[in-house]
Amino acid sequence: MRIMALAIWLIVLGSEAHGYTYWNDMRHSSLLPDNSITLRVENPSGPGVQNFLLFAGSGIQEAAMTPIIDGPSTVSATVSGPVAALRYYGFRLIQGAELDLLPVRIADGIDPVPTDLTQLAADPAGDALFGYTNLDLVDCHVSFSGTRLFAALKNAGGGFPVSQGLTFFGYLLGIANPALADPDTVFALMHTYNQPGIISPGLYRVTGTGLGNLTKIGNVTVQQYPATNTLMLSCNIADLMADPYFQSWYDPAEPTLGLAAFTQRITLLGGAAESDRTPGGRCSLRDFSIVPFANRIPTLTNLIFEGTGSEALARIDYQDPDGHCPVVAEIAFDGGAPYPMYPQTLDYTSTVAYATEAGIEPLANDSWTSAVVRFSDNLSDTVECEATTTGVSDGDTRMHAGPICVSISPNPFNPVASIEYLMPAAGDLRVEIYDVRGGLVRTLLDGAVNSGSGRLTWNGRNAQGSPVSSGLYFCRITALGRMEVKKLLFIR
């Protein structure tokens, strides 16, 4: 008896993956004022290419991702962020007729319903063979948890009967190696008639078209949702992992499956014949989630200005203790319009260097006297680093020294504020805390320091070690013949 012909739906991957093929360098901001986040990722973009960010809302929501100048091939979207609980996210990439999907994962211990799954592909109604409405697929959704693979198949109506007289029906999610155009072995989650010793619902390895080519390797869970004409199938991922052929091509470093949904009519004389199938796609079983967090303010250090003319640029080091990427990264000269700064690397778990484009006007013309760098990872709190020119040259590189570049975080603070500074040249440095009446509260440093970066802390206590009251204070920094003042807000 002819049971299946699954290979024709496969989409060719084309080459072996080195690292992740898609969705590299995932990064995100802190929560923005409306509890959304900005999420960025490296993925193909351009004519004929569509990128979507997926997240759980009322069902699985999709937001178009827009190419931006950031990393080498960055696309970005702003969507709802995690507020009270961990939140899973996913991605959809459409390149012409090719589909790649990273579904929104199902939390462990949850029994999902079809609306919790991510759409793989829709299929037109009325295109099924043999005239059975129940075999006419119109949609397929998929997802996974830490232990199970899920699929929800929706048809045009008629429920999901497994037989009608001497005619039998099969409803399947097919699984195959996405790198092969014509595999000789595939897998299927199948809901069909139950004839003990011959065929029954289950997870199968399929090596041919007859009953003897079906090897049951696991059970499936079957649930029907008559109100929405939906059938939900799931299997244990461990049953797939235990199969030697599956293990021969499945790559945990690039965990991708080729997936599509099918229906079949099975007769005693004609065997199994495909009635309908949805478009297929490559599905990545990667887990991407963001947990709720209390934001900590990033710090800026090592502001330098280098080069001359068309090669002149500004650089600064950005460090976020939570690994967030900034949504504001800019530098302004003499109170003018800001210029963007761009990351030179994309791993925000460590320090990320930012730089302007080479040859922006104030630097190319050497026409500025003061510069302010501003970064924010949440559009509410901004950390700044300031510098003024002294006209000190060193060969082809001009370093404009402040007196110093200073950033304070967190601000407001409790219990300790960190004061990061950059001395462009060795010299005397004095750092003092004053109250709003101009009274000296405490001297944090008064002495000679080397060039380079340093860090001081203030714990909200005066020179006698007594705690000060909540309120506004001023940090005065004096060095290299210049003085700057920064505000601090101490909150008990």
The per-residue pLDDT for range 135-168, each reduced to its tens digit, is 999 999 999 999 999 999 999 999 999 999 989 9
Domain co-membership, 264 together with 315: no
Distance between CA atoms of residues 172 and 191, nearest Å? 6
Q: Are 284 and 261 in contact (CB under 8 A)?
A: no
Same domain, yes or no: 280 and 351: no
Q: pTM of the predicted model, to two decimals?
A: 0.78
Q: Tell me whether residue 348 is in a domain.
A: yes
Question: Which of the listed residues 245, 269, 289 is the one where a domain comes to its end?
Answer: 289
The upper half-sphere exposure of residue 171, i.e. CA atoms within 13 Å in the direction of its Cβ, equals 32
- With cut-offs at 50, 70 and 90, classify the pLDDT of residue 270: confident
| Boundaries of domain holding 366 | 299-490
- One domain, residues 394 and 483: yes
Q: How far apart (Å, rounded) are the C-alpha atoms in residues 59 and 55?
A: 9
Residue 274 in domain: yes
148 forms beta bridges with 236
pLDDT value at position 168? 93
Residues 240 and 183 in one domain: yes
Tell me the CA end-to-end span of the chain in Å, nearest whole number. 78
| 126 and 228, same domain (yes or no) | yes
Domain C-terminal end among 289, 318, 352: 289
Q: Would you say residue 1 lies in a domain?
A: no
Mean pLDDT calculated for residue range 260-288: 92
Look at residues 289, 316, 351 and tell me which one is the last residue of a structural domain.
289
Where residue 391 falls among pLDDT bands split at 50, 70, 90? very low
- pLDDT, residue 395, reads 35
Task: Give the pLDDT confidence score for residue 15 in this predicted structure.
Answer: 30
**Three-class SS of residue 7?**
helix
> What are the pLDDT digits (tens) for 429-454?
999 998 877 789 999 999 999 988 88
What total of structural domains would you count in the chain?
Answer: 2
Residue 276 confidence class, pLDDT cut points 50, 70, 90: very high
Which pLDDT value is given to residue 390? Answer: 44
Q: Is residue 34 part of a domain?
A: yes
218 in the same domain as 81: yes
Q: Do 323 and 269 belong to one domain?
A: no
Tell me: do 159 and 40 sit in the same domain.
yes
Mean confidence (pLDDT) of the chain: 89
Residue 155 lies in a domain: yes
Same domain membership, residue 406 and residue 274: no
**What local confidence, expressed as pLDDT, does residue 6 receive?**
32
237 — phi, psi (to 5°)?
A: -60, -30
106 in the same domain as 27: yes
CA nearest to 78, candidates 89, 94, 92: 89
Q: Which residues of 401-433 are buried (b: 16+ CB within 10 A; e: fewer)?
A: bbbbbbbbbbbebeeebbbbbbbbbebebebbb
Check whether 358 has a pLDDT greater than 50.
Answer: yes
Q: Is the pLDDT of residue 401 over 60?
A: no
Tell which wins on pLDDT, 245 or 18: 245
Digit-coded pLDDT (tens) for 163-208: 999 899 999 999 999 999 888 999 999 999 998 877 899 999 988 7
In this structure, is residue 294 part of a structural domain? no
Task: Identify the CATH number of the domain in which residue 399 sits.
Answer: 2.60.40.4070
Same domain, 199 and 328: no
Task: Assess if residue 62 is contained within a domain.
Answer: yes
Averaged pLDDT for residues 60-79: 97
Same domain, 239 and 341: no
List the one residue out of 89, 63, 83, 60 whose CA is nearest residue 291.
83
> β-strand 98-102 against 281-284: which pairing, if any?
parallel
Q: Is residue 2 situated within a structural domain?
A: no
